[in-house]
Structure 1
């Protein structure tokens, strides 16, 4: 049986080697890292703004109104997002139309679906024309 010291040393050596392999950062290296992070921060900012846009459009689609049309028009006329938003509207419209045609209820539910269809068609016309 090996003495206790020989059983402990290998694990301590591994830990020491791992700690020594961590590079020490100079102030110049830290500054360069900060500069390298700038594009990443810009990308995160852009991703955040896209997330805000998606949430705003989703809320607008859930609560149709004139303000909702303005929100959809605002984002939908931006050429960077036009195709995505138009595709989103077309898919939602397709789903609502399917519900409308499959609905057995002649009054309340069908009227609400008809209003939603009209709203979505208006939104599509607005972003297509502007």
Structure 2
């Protein structure tokens, strides 16, 4: 019995570690998603802040146009990366829920097994107590005859 309990305890510890690992990965992934959001906001602000200079030379206007175009490309790339990071975060969240359920099920089995062992010990102790009580009663009966 105790071997089964120790095995279940080890399994519970493994499940707990898996939950903690996934939780850490999810936290990192959420930070990455937030970083992408901040990057997109900063790049959008930077792109909007480029003034269109009227009456400037064609070369300057061409440079500004190229700069804005490159910024828009980087913004789009960051949005794609953010979308992928969001998908991965959702997958990690689902994995976390799955692992937490597995951990909880092992924990419940472990608790049931511990309760069963405790009840068996109590039952054995009660049998010993009953046997001793019976012997005492029989001795008293024999002594009174």
TM-score bracket relative to the smaller structure: 0.3 to 0.5
Larger helix share, 1 or 2: 2
TM-score of the two chains, using structure 1 as the length reference: 0.36
Q: Greater CA radius of gyration, 1 or 2?
A: 2
